[in-house]
Amino acid sequence: MTTLLLVAAVVFFLAVVMTMAGRGGGNFYVLVLVLAGMPMHQAAATGQFILLATAVSAFVVFQKHRVVVWHLALLIGSLTASAAFVGGYGSHGFSGHTLKFVFSGFLALAGILMLIPFPEAGEPEGRPRFLRWRFSAGGRLYEVDLRLVVPVTVLSGFGSGMVGVSGGSFLVPLMVLACRVPVRIAVGTASTLIGATALMGFTGHALRGDFHPAWAVPLAAVTVVGGALGGRFALKSRPKHLKLLFAVTTLIAAGIMLANALRTT
């Protein structure tokens, strides 16, 4: 019980902070669960369940303030969710040790991406080019580079579902760079995408018998509160001020998970 309470306190803090940056926090959830002694496959399933609860809670706040672009949510969300289901269901094709190595690689890449400055892009000019999709939402014109968005979305969804993370670390820069979306809108829209990915990834793991509600349910209840609180803070904060902190902590988490994988090999 003491361990569960400690994990719940850490998970609550992560839910608040990660929601503020448009990141589900699944990488940290899974890391905390593994360090608490939970097997990797069960930790991945529990992490996805927690992500789903956090994302739904944050989405209610973001949608209320109209910072969700539904065109992108439907396009990227459908691709990500489908790939996450395949990744979650197919995770048993890999050993727990292999998943730990893949997981640490995802963390390292996410941390590096967060160190890259992503400038706010203006509205597109001229005629749309080949495989570029343009649409209007909220009085703004957007342009999506399908050549980049589709493959990156599918790959990130598959990897996220396999190791039990949200993919939020990749979705926000993807929307900013390839879809020309302002950072605040990207953060709000990412909450919807994270929820879709988490639902399908969790379903894949659950069908394999990895879901154990004894820890998952109380931790999800904690993150519902954390996600709502983080969503409110995000609307009042400037995410760029937190990027360096998230990058550093993500790289540290990657090192910890890598060390854990090497120690248990």
203-243 per-position pLDDT tens digit: 888 888 888 888 889 998 998 898 888 878 777 766 566 56
pLDDT tier for residue 118 given thresholds of 50, 70 and 90: low
What pLDDT was estimated at residue 64? Answer: 82
> Does the structure show a pLDDT above 60 at 121?
no
| pLDDT value for 59 | 81
Distance CA 204, CA 86 (A): 7
Confidence at residue 253, expressed as pLDDT on a 0 to 100 scale: 74
In this prediction, residue 146 has a pLDDT band, given cuts at 50, 70 and 90, of confident
Model confidence at 125: pLDDT above 70? no
Q: pLDDT tens for residues 9-39?
A: 988 988 888 777 666 666 678 888 888 888 8
pLDDT > 80? residue 4: yes
What number is the average pLDDT over the span 162-171?
67
Mean pLDDT computed over every residue of the chain: 79
Share above pLDDT 90 across residues of the chain, in percent, rounded to a whole number? 1
Quote the pLDDT of residue 200. 78
Count how many Cα atoms sit within 13 Å of the Cα of residue 122 in the half-sphere of its side chain. 2
Structure tokens at 124: 């597109």
The pLDDT, as a whole number, for residue 243 is 67
At 259, the pLDDT band (50, 70, 90 cuts) reads confident
Model confidence pLDDT, tens digit, residues 47-102: 888 888 888 888 888 888 888 888 888 888 888 878 888 887 887 777 777 777 87
What value does the mean pLDDT take over residues 141-148? 83
